[in-house]
Structure 1
Amino acid sequence: WQVTNHMRESLARDALTMALAAKFRAGEDVSGLVHHSDRGVQFRSIRYGETLAESEVVASVGSRGDSYDNAMAEALNSVYKAELIDRREWSGLIEVMAETSKWVSWYNQDRLHSAIAYRPPVEVHSEWINQSDTESVAA
């Protein structure tokens, strides 16, 4: 994730770099991972594409005019705005960044999600990683 007061390509690329670095630190292989995004210019820039290619991440850009292509990301953005951003006045970008950091941690570590049997995402992700590791060893 990344917070700023503009929608330039660097915003998306900084968030991508942060996510890739977290995966690398965790020892997770991202090659072949599919990166879904809408057709926003920041996701179709040359530098953004190069960052994906360097990590062997496959870009999947949504169809023009199909609002359902990016429904999960749009839903997350709506939850973020409803649960955090729209609930108060902000003194500035630094405050938004600090509170967003806390919210993202809470959302991934503690918040129960109905789509995954009222469990936190970190728990489901950990099970998926362990299952993937077991399947790799068995193969």
Structure 2
Amino acid sequence: FVYVAFVIDAFARRIVGWRVSRVAKAEFVLDALDQALHQRHPFEGGRLICHSDRGSQYVSIRYTERLAEAGIEPSVGGVGDSYDNALAETVIGLFKTEVIHRRGPWRSFEAVEFATLEWVHWFNERRLLEPIGNIPPAEAETNYYAELETPAVAA
């Protein structure tokens, strides 16, 4: 049995941090969060919100302290309300359907970890997502930043 944590940037629905663990403790979600922070380098003074469910890892003192250290505002969903965390629930559902159930039974923890690495890369670089214009998350971000760099042309 394994546990998987994903940190998803809601803007382009890109997975920016993830971890697979044999135990559901705060350490593995902290590792996923740290991976996301390392990848994104959020700027000081920006308003960043981390929404999660009420899992013990996400409401632990260590996790909430780490959010505070990084200047991130925690937001925890309601008890038993999957709509509160719909983006994460969707990504986890896709992962389970496309990786865990389709490729199992699994022979090792490392096999699940490697399959997760492959899937996250595919999800970010190739998966077409309707809410962002039927393009992959990485392309949506690239397009956004290209627009920021393009000077406005006077009409």
Query: Residue deviations 1:74-122, cap 9 Å, x none?
Result: 1110000101111122111111111110110110011111222210001
- Bigger fraction of residues in helix: 1
Q: Are 1:13 and 2:30 counterparts?
A: yes
TM-score calculated relative to the size of structure 2: 0.77
Larger RCO, structures 1/2 (Cα 8 Å, 6+ apart): 2
Alpha-carbon shift at residue 64 of structure 1 (Å)? 2.4
- CA 1:35–1:131 in structure 2 vs 1: closer, same or farther (change >3 Å)? farther
Cα offset, 1:67, TM superposition: 2.3
Gaps of 5+ in 1: 135-139
TM-score by length of 1: 0.85
2:144 corresponds in structure 1 to 128
Question: What fraction of aligned residue pairs are identical, expressed as a percent?
Answer: 40
Gaps of 5+ in 2: 1-17, 151-155
Q: Which has the higher strand share?
A: 2
Q: Which residue identity is paired with 1:98?
A: F
1:25-44 Cα offsets, whole Å, 9 max, x none, are xxx42742111101111111
Alignment root-mean-square deviation, CA = 1.9
Counterparts of 2:119 and 2:25, CA distance in 1? 23
